[in-house]
Amino acid sequence: MGEKMLMKGNEAIGEAAIRAGCRYYFGYPITPQSELTAYMAKKLLKMKDAAFVQAESEIAAINMVYGAASTGVRVMTSSSSPGISLKQEGISYITCSEIPCVVVNMQRGGPGLGDIQPAQSDYFQAVKGGGHGDYHLIVLAPSSVQELVDLTMDAFDLADKYTNPAMILGDGLLGQMMEAVEFKERPKVELPDKSGWNLTGCKGREHRYVVSFDLDPNILEKWNLNINEKYKKLKEKEVRYEAVNLENADLVIVAYGTVARIAKTTIQMAKKEGINIGLIRPITLFPFPEKIIASTAVKTKKFLTVEMSLGQMVEDVKLAVNGKAEVNFYGRAGGIIPSPEEILKEAKKYL
């Protein structure tokens, strides 16, 4: 058994990152994730062989991550929606360079400066690439403080395994919430050796370089195809989801993160009224759990996707369902959190 502690979501991410061996953090303050930046400052500034830099901007922060990660160490940056937008060019470069790192987005209401309330309106940006070019991030969607911890640690492993940035896609509510968490003993995982690509100085070998371009389109196409192979592998091997009450469900809710938590209460409320509602909660948003949604669509003819956005993940649900069932949508925008009652009322419309 690991230790149990009561922790705020944002700080739990920081502690998890440090326990996962991350000693380098570069960030810029933004609500609702500033506690994470502060936590990393408090811890890393006192550690040996570690660095915390409050960068001049999110742009600088992600480019610091690029440099640090190119040496082969574990590195993290975090922000919230507007700051994540600023990081996109850098994330695209890092992905093309095939370098691992972890980026945390504790989403807030948008677009624009938006507000500082929890939201899920950066789904498209997170799972479809976000910056320019053909690429994806590995996107993990925690729905409790415990999962913030576990998935942050997993994010470092997955990033290393696939030499691709991984993103924790949370929201302001998860970041601010206090819950008991356990830092579990983790089984040792075999991860690829970085000594074939990391920059160390060229002592005893040829010089090497990390770049994200090739002006020869034939080479660049091959490069893209190689990166794409990793996404195929991710889709085969790393899909994660939670399925609740799918047997004999009259309707299945698809929701992630904070909304999935709320939907669990909805399911309990429905049960009391004799209504059978199921839940598919994607834990990996990329790779997306298409198969379970597709196989469920054969049995349950009704889906309700609920998001704190005006309809983003629902597009992926529809792709997975592929016309085999009815896909409905309910969403709140601008930082409004839907209540369990609200979701139940919406579900009843389709029953």
Partner 1 sequence: MKKVFGRPESLTEVPFTYCPGCHHGIAHRLVAEVLDEFKVRENTIGVCPVGCSVFAYLFFNVDMICAAHGRAPATATGIKRVKPDSIVFTYQGDGDLASIGTAEIVHAANRGENITVIFINNAIYGMTGGQMAPTTLVGQVTQTSPYGRDPKTMGYPIKMAEMLSTLKRAAYISRVALNKPANIIKAKKSIKKAFQVQLDKKGFSMVEILSTCPTNWGLSPIEASKWLEENMIPYFPLGEFRTPEEVA
| Closer to partner 1 by Cβ: residue 176 or 212 | 212
| Closer to partner 1 by Cβ: residue 46 or 207 | 207
| Closer to partner 1 by Cβ: residue 200 or 322 | 200
| Closer to partner 1 by Cβ: residue 46 or 203 | 203
Residues in CB range of 220: below 8 A, 6 or more apart = 213, 214
| Closer to partner 1 by Cβ: residue 207 or 272 | 207
| Closer to partner 1 by Cβ: residue 53 or 320 | 53
Q: Determine contact, residues 155/105, Cβ cutoff 8 Å.
A: no
- Residue 285 CA to residue 125 CA, distance in Å, equals 12
> In 3-state terms, what secondary structure has residue 306?
strand
Picking from 269, 316, 271, the residue whose alpha carbon sits closest to that of residue 289 is: 316
Smallest gap from residue 335 Cβ to partner 1 (A): 29
Q: Determine contact, residues 129/93, Cβ cutoff 8 Å.
A: no
What CA–CA distances, in Å, run from 2 to 98, 180, 181, 270? 33, 12, 9, 36
Smallest gap from residue 159 Cβ to partner 1 (A): 16
Establish whether the linkage from the previous residue to 111 is cis, with ω within 30° of 0.
yes
Residues in CB range of 47: below 8 A, 6 or more apart = 23
- Residue 211 CA to residue 70 CA, distance in Å, equals 10
Smallest gap from residue 59 Cβ to partner 1 (A): 7
Q: Determine contact, residues 292/241, Cβ cutoff 8 Å.
A: yes
Smallest gap from residue 72 Cβ to partner 1 (A): 9
- Residue 54 CA to residue 226 CA, distance in Å, equals 35
- Residue 178 CA to residue 157 CA, distance in Å, equals 25
The residue ranges that bind partner 1 (CB under 8 A) are: 24, 26, 51, 53, 55-57, 59-61, 63-71, 73, 75, 89-90, 93, 199-204, 207-213
> In 3-state terms, what secondary structure has residue 50?
coil
Smallest gap from residue 24 Cβ to partner 1 (A): 6
Smallest gap from residue 332 Cβ to partner 1 (A): 36
Smallest gap from residue 215 Cβ to partner 1 (A): 9
| Closer to partner 1 by Cβ: residue 213 or 291 | 213
